[in-house]
Amino acid sequence: MPDDAHPATTFEARLDKLAMLGVRVGLNLRAGQELVMTAPLDAMPLVRRIVEHAYKAGATLVTPLISDDAVALARYRHAHPDAAFDVAPGWLFNAMAEAFKGGAARLAVVGDDPTLLSAEDPEKVARANKARSIAYRPALELITGFAINWNLVPAATPGWARQVFPDLPEAQAVERLWDAIFAACRVDVADPVAEWARHNATLRARREFLNGKDFSALHFRGAGTDLRVGLAEGHLWCGGAEEAKNGIVCNPNIPTEEVFTTPHALRVEGAVRSTKPLAYQGTLIEDIAVRFEGGRIVEANATRGAEVLRKVIGTDEGAARLGEVALVPHSSPISASGLLFRNTLFDENAASHIALGQAYTTCLRDSAGVPMEALAKRGANASLIHIDWMIGSGEVDVDGITQGGEAEPLMRKGEFVAGPV
């Protein structure tokens, strides 16, 4: 294997570097920690390398939980009675929550086929997703509250690669997708750890600028978009490497290009149109167009997957409100690749975006130990879901609205024009 003085060139060397980044930069796993990992079956070569690096870092136990597309499809095609779609493994998610409370870290290897369930009954898909969201809540709250060090890392799988490169033979599509992943994750450099340190410094400077501004709202304008997003009282911009409440500095997403904060759940007004498709739980939702009044979606349409979108919005009271707003320059490496990844981990880092549902309470000042009811009074949204979708492009402008109501140019044609650029 090449040493750190030279970029990794073989596939195996690059795969190993990605696994190392997930453990050392993504999680910053500490000796004595357990690790709970989820991954698709097709990602096992990466999973095995992550496990090796985790144990080398001092993990006491690594527990992988593996999913499989064929198993997932079998449920929708053969499960009966109908009530089977209102069931989720709460016992498993409760156990994950207990592991996190006991100090375990969380890593998810992502690479699912974004259209896996697109031909299945949307009513069953929505019910199964809702049941899972309810059961997963105890673990999700620990993640969104940044109680633990956690990380998402991508893996190229045949189902995903076919969606990104539909005109290529499967093997070639997988190879091309791996190349794109390695580039986006900054693996193809001499010292990926140092490169991530530089990148994190850029994101830190950007969020410090925005925190200093303390805008009351953001105003997005573009084709089909005229949206004013009020920001929560005492909101805090985050992004890149952050310190979790367990004291460990980690990078939750690899790759990442965003800075993000908490909107005010009651202060979002106007219309917005998506600029990229949303891949959600095996369904591709395209050309989303919604209108907000008083912070809540009152109209929702999409050219594909509209029924699933509306059912998602109806999950609970908070599902029709925003829990996150994020800024990403149009020139980000993921956007510059020209690829539509059909995967939120990537596509959200190609464009500014918003998220329906649960707020990240870590994006509120002095939120540690504060009950959700008190944070809600400051504007933090609560929901069973957290779903990001993209609203930025090279044609979208963003203004910051000061506490005095004045508009200051923040982004023009998708690029920052204020602060670190």
What pLDDT, on the 0 to 100 scale, is given for residue 81? 85
**What DSSP line would sit under 45-97, residue for residue?**
HHHHHHHHHHHHTT-SEEEEEEE-HHHHHHHHHH--SGGGGG---HHHHHHHH
Span 329-341, average pLDDT: 93
What pLDDT, on the 0 to 100 scale, is given for residue 1? 39
Is the peptide bond preceding residue 81 cis, with omega within 30 degrees of 0?
yes
- 354 in Cβ contact with 391 (< 8 Å): yes
How much of the chain, in percent, has pLDDT values that exceed 90?
86
What pLDDT, on the 0 to 100 scale, is given for residue 281? 73
In order of 15, 72, 112, 171, the CA distances from 174 in angstroms are 13, 21, 13, 5
Span 52-60, average pLDDT: 98
Angle among Cα 83, 86, 92 to the nearest 5 degrees reads 125
Query: The pTM is what?
Result: 0.87
- 3-class DSSP state for residue 142? helix
Higher pLDDT, residue 129 or 89: 89
- 370 in Cβ contact with 254 (< 8 Å): no
Q: Look at residues 279, 365, 287, 363 and name the one whose alpha carbon lies nearest to residue 324.
A: 363
Q: Please provide the distance, in angstroms rounded to a whole number, between the alpha carbons at the two ends of the chain.
A: 36
pLDDT reading at 410 higher than 80 = yes
What pLDDT, on the 0 to 100 scale, is given for residue 2? 41
Which has the minimum average pLDDT: 1-15, 31-45, 145-159, 191-205?
1-15
Query: Which amino acid is it at 283?
Result: T
In 344-403, where does DSSP find H-type helix?
A: 344-347, 372-377
Task: Report the distance separating Cα 264 and Cα 323, nearest Å.
Answer: 8
- 3-class DSSP state for residue 299? strand
Task: Report the distance separating Cα 28 and Cα 223, nearest Å.
Answer: 41
Span 26-51, average pLDDT: 98
Q: Could you tell me the pLDDT band of residue 6, with boundaries at 50, 70 and 90?
A: low
What pLDDT, on the 0 to 100 scale, is given for residue 8? 66
What pLDDT, on the 0 to 100 scale, is given for residue 73? 95
- 410 in Cβ contact with 206 (< 8 Å): no
Span 131-155, average pLDDT: 93
Span 196-222, average pLDDT: 97
pLDDT reading at 403 higher than 70 = yes
Span 272-294, average pLDDT: 92
- Give strand pairing partners of 41: none
Task: Report the distance separating Cα 355 and Cα 345, nearest Å.
Answer: 13
Report the chain's mean pLDDT, rounded to a whole number.
94
Task: Report the distance separating Cα 219 and Cα 242, nearest Å.
Answer: 26
Return the H-helix or E-strand segment holding 297.
strand 296-301
Task: Report the distance separating Cα 230 and Cα 122, nearest Å.
Answer: 33
Higher pLDDT, residue 114 or 65: 65
Span 115-125, average pLDDT: 89
What pLDDT, on the 0 to 100 scale, is given for residue 3? 45
Q: What's the token pair of residue 137?
A: 């809540």
What pLDDT, on the 0 to 100 scale, is given for residue 283? 81
Domains of the chain in start order, with CATH, are 11-184 (3.40.1830.10), 215-416 (no CATH)
Return the H-helix or E-strand segment holding 351.
none
Task: Report the distance separating Cα 320 and Cα 313, nearest Å.
Answer: 5
pLDDT reading at 116 higher than 60 = yes
What pLDDT, on the 0 to 100 scale, is given for residue 362? 86
Span 241-251, average pLDDT: 95
Neighbours of 167 (CB within 10 A): 7
Q: What's the token pair of residue 278?
A: 């949303």
What pLDDT, on the 0 to 100 scale, is given for residue 421? 75
What pLDDT, on the 0 to 100 scale, is given for residue 284? 83
In order of 80, 112, 189, 224, 276, the CA distances from 287 in angstroms are 34, 21, 36, 11, 7
